[in-house]
């Protein structure tokens, strides 16, 4: 394992595997959140299932580990890339060679992390350790606050930008580099980023006006 996480390629592969895991989590989380549109009863059942199902209880530790791992490896990879490039190339025309999302993964990643701290405090900790008996009310009440909606929607857009590079990068790091796949992977990645950014944002905005 140490060989896998200490080499540059190993770091990229483990980043990619934890990234795949987080992509799956986001899809499940969005699916559960969309039941907010069905009604309070359905969402509370789904949320309760998440909070009590034994398999999901175990998976929560895997999820926490996946997040921490992804963040630590991301920071290490960024530091390593910087160290191997101490002097900026005199004629480095970065904008022409790569896009903004790929050059700023660490920035968008850290901002999404800040959102996560707030999010875990307001939802996860409240539901687990607070006196909440209606998860639906907790969520819909929070989205009555415009500052909250603004912070959340900004975080979802940043997450979308992070994923617009991260999704395709996860695939290319594990070898899906052949030209015949590359375009398809890029397009699915872009579609996925929009789905996540818009899907989560629609929920926050809808319940602000509801």
Footprint of ligand HEM on this chain (CB under 6 A)?
A: 29, 33, 47, 50-51, 60, 63, 112, 116, 119-120, 123-124, 127, 135, 139, 156, 159, 200, 203-204
Torsion, Cα of 194, 143, 70, 104 (10° steps): 60
H or E segment to which residue 176 belongs: none
* Residue 132 · residue 126 · CB < 8 Å: yes
Smallest gap from Cβ 92 to ligand HEM, in A, equals: 32
What's the full length of the chain, in residues?
210
Longest CA span, the chain: 61
- Shortest distance (Å) from residue 139 CB to ligand HEM: 5
Give the Cα separation of 49 and 32 in Å (integer). Answer: 10
Nearer to ligand HEM, 29 or 186 (CB): 29
Q: CB of residue 100 vs ligand HEM: minimum separation in angstroms?
A: 20
Nearer to ligand HEM, 151 or 174 (CB): 151
Instruction: Work out how close the CB of 210 gets to ligand HEM at its nearest, in angstroms, rounded to a whole number.
Output: 13
């Amino acid at each position: 394992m140490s060989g896998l996480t200490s080499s540059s390629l190993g770091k990229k592969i483990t980043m990619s595997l934890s990234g795949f895991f987080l992509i799956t989590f986001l899809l499940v989380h969005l699916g559960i959140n969309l039941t907010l549109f069905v009604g309070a009863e359905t969402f509370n059942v789904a949320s309760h299932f998440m909070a009590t199902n034994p398999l999901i209880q175990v998976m929560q530790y895997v999820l926490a580990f996946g997040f921490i791992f992804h963040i630590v490896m991301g920071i290490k990879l960024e530091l390593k890339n910087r160290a191997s490039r101490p002097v900026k190339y005199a004629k480095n025309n970065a904008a022409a060679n790569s896009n903004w999302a790929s050059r700023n993964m660490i920035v968008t990643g850290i901002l999404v992390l800040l959102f996560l701290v707030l999010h875990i405090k307001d939802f996860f900790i409240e539901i687990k350790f607070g006196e909440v008996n209606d998860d639906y009310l907790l969520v819909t009440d929070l989205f009555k606050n415009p500052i909250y909606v603004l912070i959340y929607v900004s975080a979802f857009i940043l997450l979308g930008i992070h994923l617009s590079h991260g999704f395709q990068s996860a695939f290319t790091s594990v070898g899906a580099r052949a030209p015949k796949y590359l375009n398809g992977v890029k397009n699915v990645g872009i579609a996925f980023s929009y789905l996540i950014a818009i899907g989560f944002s629609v929920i926050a905005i809808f319940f602000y006006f509801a």
